[in-house]
Amino acid sequence: MAKKTHSSLKKSTSEAMVYSSDPTTLLSRIRSQDIVIGVVGLGYVGLPLAVEFAMKGIRTIGIDIDNRKISALQQGHNYIQDISSENVAQCIANKTLSATTDFSVCGECDVIYICVPTPFTPNKEPDISHIVHSTEEVAKYLRDGHIVILKSTTFPGTTTKYVQPILERMGKKAGKDYYLAFSPERIDPGNTTWHTGNTPIVVGGVSASCTALSVAVNELIIDKVIAVSTPEVAEMEKLLENIFRSVNIALVNELAQLCDRIGVNIWEVVEAASTKPFGFMPFFPGPGIGGHCILIDPYYLSWMAREVDFVTNFITLAAEVNESMPFYVRSMIEREIARQPVTMEKAKILLLGMAFKRDVDDLRHSPALKVAELLLEDGMKNVSYYDPYIPETEIHGKKVKSEKKLTPQMLEKFDIAVITTDHTSFDYEMIVKHSKVVIDTRNACKKVKGAKKKVRLLGEGKK
Ligand SMILES: NC(=O)c1ccc[n+]([C@@H]2O[C@H](COP(=O)([O-])OP(=O)(O)OC[C@H]3O[C@@H](n4cnc5c(N)ncnc54)[C@H](O)[C@@H]3O)[C@@H](O)[C@H]2O)c1
């Protein structure tokens, strides 16, 4: 049983801890930080969250099924780029943060955040098995006064139709014995302005007390917490955020292709439209979308909508355009090969950037990876990449290593360099100067003098 004794906890005659589920008592314990936080799933979302609580001096226990992550943390090692390694080492050393694969520690925790992946199946249907499995583990240790907060992005109804019934198998009731809410994550890896503490967050509980207690917990580490009426509103607003991005990126990706045909530069168009001080927000074209969110999440809603005979046309159309972009980039590359005295088989292609977006080490569903796969499928034998964040990857089941260093000599070996991810550490002057031809899918060379001669820009409208 729990080692830590809280002022509000009573010991029964059997010496077992008796936890209060009284919301007023819980609220006062939250406000005085007399609680233990549990975080299930220590990835891009879970570990920063756990470290944020631990850095406040609140005892925090991280739980994950990945032994490598747990042993790294136990040794004080950080594996998430966005958080400070010193903070992780410090929290582990002073024991505010601990990590384990053993779910029985849930009994010791007062709050349990669930931050596990929500991928899709090969047919692009939601796979909430990680939520289900982790909830089943939490349910084994569910006790009075527990506050469970689901953070994984998912379709409306997951909290009440999937998580709640699992937690209540042993008869406990949300809002009475324990508390349950959905509070979506907004972390944006690589964003140096907006981080966990200063990004407002939304919370929707299954009852008023579930919401109030979950808001209070989040307020310990987040400046602004917005309560909504139900978990479904919170689930849906997260999907709206991501679908909003997906649809707008798709729009500009489609217009980029049109601009290529009619000889208008889409980048100049977006820049010009951005001068409107209201009613316009710039989005930029690119080689496609990736990561664990914007590509996947819209499919969660379109799958759910089918259950009520509803077709989410915007989502489907946006997915169609965004997922066609790596194919469009492939056609740009193949057109360029056709202009050079080299065959497809012998052409040496260098992809610059393999991560799904700038300055991150996240490869999940990266459009660059898709471009590499498509080139290999077309019979190209010499496709290489350079990405300081991704030293090694697998393309079509084959291990491939990044080129070691971005140097003039390395660039000169290739027939075409393709900027697939616009990492800020890339020296674009050098890339343009020492490459034979550059295909720029991100407008990364816009400030390089003389770039026009060598650079083929996606959506530049060159006839
Ligand atoms: N990465 C982001 O930028 C981001 C932003 C907002 C929301 N989200 C959402 O947050 C959720 C988590 O995403 P992430 O990027 O942190 O994923 P991740 O893959 O980086 O981390 C998830 C962690 O959960 C662990 N895990 C899987 N199954 C488990 C189980 N049954 N029990 C315990 N641990 C388990 C994994 O080992 C992994 O360490 C997803 O729903 C995602 O859509 C992610």
- Give the rounded distance of the alpha carbon of 368 from its chain centre: 17
CA of 282 from ligand 1 middle (Å) equals: 29
Instruction: Measure the CA–CA gap between 389 and 358, rounded to whole angstroms.
Output: 10
Q: Which of 44, 51, 356, 366 to mutate to test the pocket of ligand 1 (most atoms within 8 A of CB)?
A: 44
CA of 46 from ligand 1 middle (Å) equals: 7
Q: Which residues have a Cβ under 8 Å from the Cβ of 409 and sit 6 or more positions away?
A: none
Q: How many CB atoms lie within 10 A of CB 222?
A: 20
pTM listed for this prediction: 0.93
pLDDT in tens, 256-298: 999 999 999 999 999 999 999 999 999 999 999 999 999 999 9
Nearest Cα residue to 105 out of 134, 66, 148, 62:
62
Residue bearing tokens 């084994």: 140
The overall longest dimension of the chain from CA atoms, in Å, is 87
Q: Which residues have a Cβ under 8 Å from the Cβ of 335 and sit 6 or more positions away?
A: none
CA of 47 from ligand 1 middle (Å) equals: 9
Residue closest via CA to ligand 1's atom 31 equals 134
Query: Does 3.40.50.720 match the CATH number of domain 255-457?
Result: yes
Looking at CATH, the fold of the domain delimited by 10-229 is given as Rossmann fold (3.40.50)
Could you give the residue range(s) of every CATH 3.40.50.720 domain in the chain? 10-229, 255-457
Dihedral over Cα of 134, 302, 329, 447: its sign: negative
Per DSSP, the three-state class of 292 is: coil
Residue 173 near residue 193 (C-beta atoms within 8 A) = no
Give the pLDDT of residue 82: 87
CA of 255 from ligand 1 middle (Å) equals: 33
Token code pair at residue 340: 């050079």
Instruction: Out of 109, 210, 293, 445, pick the active-site residue.
Output: 293
pLDDT in tens, 24-52: 999 999 999 999 999 999 999 999 999 99
Question: What is the number of the ligand 1 atom nearest to the C-alpha of 362?
Answer: 1
Q: Which residues have a Cβ under 8 Å from the Cβ of 341 and sit 6 or more positions away?
A: none
| DSSP per residue, 385-417 | EE-TT-SEEEETTEEEEPPS---HHHHHT-SEE
Around ligand 1, the residues with Cβ closer than 6 Å are 40-46, 63-66, 69, 115-118, 130, 133-134, 151-153, 185, 187, 189, 292-293
Q: Which amino acid is at 306?
A: R
What are the phi and psi torsion angles at 85 (to 5°)? -65, -30
- Give the rounded distance of the alpha carbon of 291 from its chain centre: 6
Q: Which of 39, 45, 153 to mutate to test the pocket of ligand 1 (most atoms within 8 A of CB)?
A: 45
Question: What is the number of the ligand 1 atom nearest to the C-alpha of 151?
Answer: 10
Q: Which amino acid is at 412?
A: E
Give the pLDDT of residue 189: 87
Nearest Cα residue to 458 out of 381, 345, 367, 388:
367
DSSP code, position 277: S
Instruction: Measure the CA–CA gap between 181 and 209, rounded to whole angstroms.
Output: 10
Question: What is the number of the ligand 1 atom nearest to the C-alpha of 45?
Answer: 16
Nearest Cα residue to 402 out of 330, 333, 354:
354
CA of 187 from ligand 1 middle (Å) equals: 12
Residue 170 host element (H or E)? none
Q: Is there a catalytic annotation at residue 106?
A: no
Burial of 391 (0-12, 13-18, 19+ CB in 10 A): exposed
From first to last of the 463 residues of the chain, give the pLDDT tens digit. 334 445 445 444 445 567 899 999 999 999 999 999 999 999 999 999 999 999 999 999 999 999 999 999 999 999 999 899 999 999 999 999 999 999 999 999 999 999 999 999 999 999 999 999 999 999 999 999 999 999 999 999 999 999 999 999 999 999 999 999 999 999 998 898 998 899 999 999 999 999 999 999 999 999 999 999 999 999 999 999 999 999 999 999 999 999 999 999 999 999 999 999 999 999 999 999 999 999 999 999 999 999 999 999 999 999 999 999 999 999 999 999 999 999 999 999 999 999 999 999 999 999 999 999 999 999 999 999 999 999 999 998 899 999 999 999 999 999 999 999 999 999 999 999 999 999 999 999 999 998 888 999 999 987 6
Residue closest via CA to ligand 1's atom 36 equals 41
Instruction: Measure the CA–CA gap between 449 and 230, rounded to whole angstroms.
Output: 54
Instruction: Measure the CA–CA gap between 197 and 46, rounded to whole angstroms.
Output: 14
Instruction: Measure the CA–CA gap between 46 and 125, rounded to whole angstroms.
Output: 24
What is the gyration radius of the CA atoms in the chain, in angstroms? 25
Nearest Cα residue to 111 out of 4, 45, 26, 48:
26
Residue 419 host element (H or E)? strand 416-419
Give the pLDDT of residue 115: 98
Instruction: Measure the CA–CA gap between 387 and 424, rounded to whole angstroms.
Output: 11
Q: How many CB atoms lie within 10 A of CB 18?
A: 13
End-to-end Cα distance, the chain:
72
